[in-house]
Chains A and B, each alone.
Chain A
Amino acid sequence: MKITEEDQILIEMYLDNAISPTDLLSFEKRLKEEEHLASALTKQSEIHRFLRNREDRNDLKSMLEKQTIPQGKKPTKVIPFYASNWTKLAIGVAAIFLIVMVWQPWVSPDVYQQFAQHKPLSLTERGTQNNLAELEQTFNGKDYEQSAAFLKIYVAKSPEDIKAQLYLGISYLELGDYEQAEILLQKIAKGQSVFKEEAIWYSALSNIKQGNNTEALRSLEKLSKDGPYTQKAKELKSLID
């Protein structure tokens, strides 16, 4: 079946997250029922993804073309080293100490999971929309793909709702979309809302999840000394410092 121009436009708007919540529901219903529409969406989403990333892709290409190629290491001259037994023992102890300090076997690989305990999302008290309960359920039920999609629409309609922005950031963080997460978290962290501390905390967790402990420590330093995250920050620091 040939797809109409109206449907092509609807697909584009859907991919742009620019579709209204009412149209979204009916469009998603049609996607389940109309095979040709679903197939057109798959095809168009590839072009959509290409276009959204084309400029960045070209910038990366030019950057790689300018990249200086590392020169192979020259063989180094080996100087024989004669040491006494005591010196050898001291070197051994120092080496073990260094390995243990760098490796830090007591640091659990799931530090992020241990500390990323999210408070349940509750937007209902602030809004009047009926579908907010459904939105909250996606986040609280850990369906972060859906919660990110819903919150993105919600934030576009209610840009003043900082809490929704924070939870959108957390959803991105859970999905591993650090770039989007950082944009939102940094913005809130720099502001003066009641969610400032929470955004700094999550920014640190984002660094932890990416394996960047140095940056995480820097973020933790920005937390206030007797705020809601002081104790947690102390525990986290003791694991990564």
Chain B
Amino acid sequence: MHKDQRYILALKNRDERVITEIYDLHFEKIKKMILSNSGNESDAKDIFQESLIALFDLATKKEFVLTCPLGAFLHRICKNKWIDKIRKKKVKQEVSFEDHFRYGGEEESGLIVMVEEAEKENQIFNQLERAFQQLSETCQELLRKVRENFSAQEIAKDLGMDQMNTFYRRKNACIQRMKKILETA
């Protein structure tokens, strides 16, 4: 586990002080990279934010452990996200990225795998969010109650359902609806 794991905890806890520290330490470098590749400050802000959310998404996996410096991870994922955006905008321009964090060997491949995984999780979570938005108000209300650290009993009680069976049947119906939306998307 890398010592920068504490930043992951800060993202999960939405620790404002430590998140500001992340911006202070890394935003300038990312901004510089994007400005020198046909982007502006607002693009840099969006890309940096999206990358932190992708890291959060990856960190929701119980087994996730950060094994590289946060800066290396952010540099790589921001670079990938910016290349994707440029492609979508169809900007025909030569892009050149200085790689400040090239390790080589196993560490480099570990970083690549971690970034790819974060991008995949981020994509899945974004699709799920879009599906969630298309659910009925009743389903959204029920599923909004599902949060980390809350037991099913507490949620069912909160929704006024005495029987756990009723709660699970309704929850399952909403989840199946979400799956359908995803399949037809």
Binding site for B on A (CB under 8 A): 5, 8-9, 12-13, 16, 18, 43-44, 46-47, 49-57, 59-61, 63-65, 67-70, 72-73, 156, 175-180, 183, 210-212
CA of A125 to CA of B5, assembled, Å? 38
- Among B24, B60, B124, max chain A CB count under 10 A is at B60
Taking CB atoms and an 8 Å cut-off, the chain B residues in 146-185 that contact chain A are: 146-149, 151-153, 164, 168-169, 171-172, 175-176, 178-179
Judged by a CB distance under 8 angstroms, whether B6 is at the interface is: yes
Interface residues on B, range: 35 or more
Q: Which residues of chain B are near A54, meaning CB under 8 Å?
A: 129, 132, 143-144, 146
The secondary structure that dominates the B interface is helix
Q: Is the CB of A46 within 8 A of B175?
A: no
Q: Which residues of chain B are near A72, meaning CB under 8 Å?
A: 28, 31
Q: How far is the CB of A30 from chain B (nearest CB, A)?
A: 18
CA of A61 to CA of B57, assembled, Å? 12
Q: Is the CB of B53 within 8 A of A70?
A: no
CA of A16 to CA of B168, assembled, Å? 10
Question: What are the interface flags for B47-78 relative to A under an 8 Å C-beta threshold, 1 for contact and 0 otherwise?
Answer: 00100110011001110010000000000000
Q: Which residues of chain A are near B45, meaning CB under 8 Å?
A: 69
- Among A68, A175, A176, max chain B CB count under 10 A is at A176
CA of A206 to CA of B5, assembled, Å? 13
Given that A57-B56, A211-B3 are known contacts, is A69 also in contact with B23, CB under 8 Å in the complex?
yes
Q: Is the CB of B23 within 8 A of A175?
A: no
Q: List 7 A-B contacts (CB under 8 A).
A: A8-B175, A50-B129, A51-B146, A57-B53, A60-B52, A70-B23, A73-B28
Given that A52-B146, A57-B53 are known contacts, is A63 also in contact with B152, CB under 8 Å in the complex?
no
